[in-house]
């Protein structure tokens, strides 16, 4: 099993972006991790069904998020977290393929656990890619214990696709396929619940996570788009 469980955006204006997400996508903050301040970051998480949208903001110089903002000359997509039912074989495969692991973290609380690895962005490209195993599978401790009670579906209910732009999309698609362990077909990686798609960058910002398709609760709203945090949300 490999499914899309969380995406993260980065901004310098956390409060302003939170207002836009709540107003336009009909969501509410489901969790803030006070421990993130240790990494020089602030953030807010929002539940979309059982998936999570996160927005992070640097609160001090020298953070990975801050360097990302500088490199891409502004806010935008930052991270992709994929859920697998067994992480260890992926750790072995990733190491054998020469992809570096830059972070390996695990949390065990109240009968639930989560274990995730972050892959080196220079080895994958486009965004920080994380592979994660949650037990039980329906839990997600990166979003705390009660995020489910804040999952609102008045506007959107599910993330069904993400789009990554690249100067060389075919090459990047192959890097992601190698990292995930699922082949790419014509620039598309098919996960169990969604797609990761790669396309040619044309906005001058280079490689990056550019947009997502969200399943609209009201089908008559399919086709609407929202530009929030330098990132495009498309209702389908």
Domain, as residue range, for 72: 2-235
Dihedral sign for Cα atoms in the order 74, 29, 143, 225: negative
Residue 216, pLDDT score: 98
What integer pLDDT is reported at residue 104 of this predicted model? 97
The two tokens of residue 169 are 């999309």
In degrees, to the nearest 5, what angle opens at C-alpha 171 toward C-alphas 9 and 184? 80
pLDDT value for 56 = 97
Query: pLDDT in tens for each of the 236 residues of the chain?
Result: 999 999 999 999 999 999 999 999 999 999 999 888 888 899 999 999 999 999 999 998 888 888 989 988 899 999 999 999 999 999 999 999 999 999 999 999 989 999 999 999 999 999 999 999 999 999 999 999 999 999 999 999 999 999 999 999 999 999 999 999 999 999 999 999 999 999 999 999 999 999 999 999 999 999 999 999 999 999 99
> Exposed, middle or buried, 162 (CB in 10 Å: 0-12/13-18/19+)?
buried
Looking up residue 130, the CATH number of its domain turns out to be 3.10.180.10
Provide the domain count of the chain: 1
Q: What angle do CA 149, 85, 76 make, to 5 degrees?
A: 60
What's residue 37's pLDDT?
84
The pTM assigned to this predicted structure is: 0.97
Q: In what order do the strands lie in the sheet with 188-190?
A: 184-185, 188-190, 195-200, 156-166, 208-216, 231-235, 225-228
């Amino acid at each position: 099993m490999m499914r899309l469980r969380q995406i993260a955006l980065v901004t310098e204006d956390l409060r302003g972006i939170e207002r836009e997400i709540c107003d336009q996508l009909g969501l509410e903050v489901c969790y803030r991790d006070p421990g993130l301040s240790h990494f020089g970051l602030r953030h807010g998480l929002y539940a979309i069904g059982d998936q999570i949208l996160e927005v992070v903001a640097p609160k001090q110089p020298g953070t990975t998020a801050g360097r990302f903002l500088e490199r891409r000359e502004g806010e935008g997509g930052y991270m992709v977290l994929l859920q697998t039912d067994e992480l260890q074989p992926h750790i072995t495969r990733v190491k054998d393929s020469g992809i570096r692991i830059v972070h390996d973290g695990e949390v065990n609380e109240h009968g639930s656990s989560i274990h995730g690895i972050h892959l080196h962005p220079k080895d994958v490209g486009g965004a920080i890619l994380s592979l994660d195993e949650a037990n039980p599978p329906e839990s997600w401790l990166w979003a705390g214990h009660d995020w489910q009670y804040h999952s609102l579906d008045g506007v959107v209910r599910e993330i069904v696709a993400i789009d990554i732009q690249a100067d060389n999309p075919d090459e990047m698609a192959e890097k992601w396929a190698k990292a995930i362990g699922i082949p790419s077909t014509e620039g598309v990686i098919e996960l169990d619940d969604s797609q990761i798609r790669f396309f040619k960058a044309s906005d001058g910002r280079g490689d990056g996570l550019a947009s997502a398709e969200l399943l609209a609760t009201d089908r008559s709203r399919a086709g609407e788009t929202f530009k929030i945090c330098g990132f495009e949300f498309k209702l389908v």
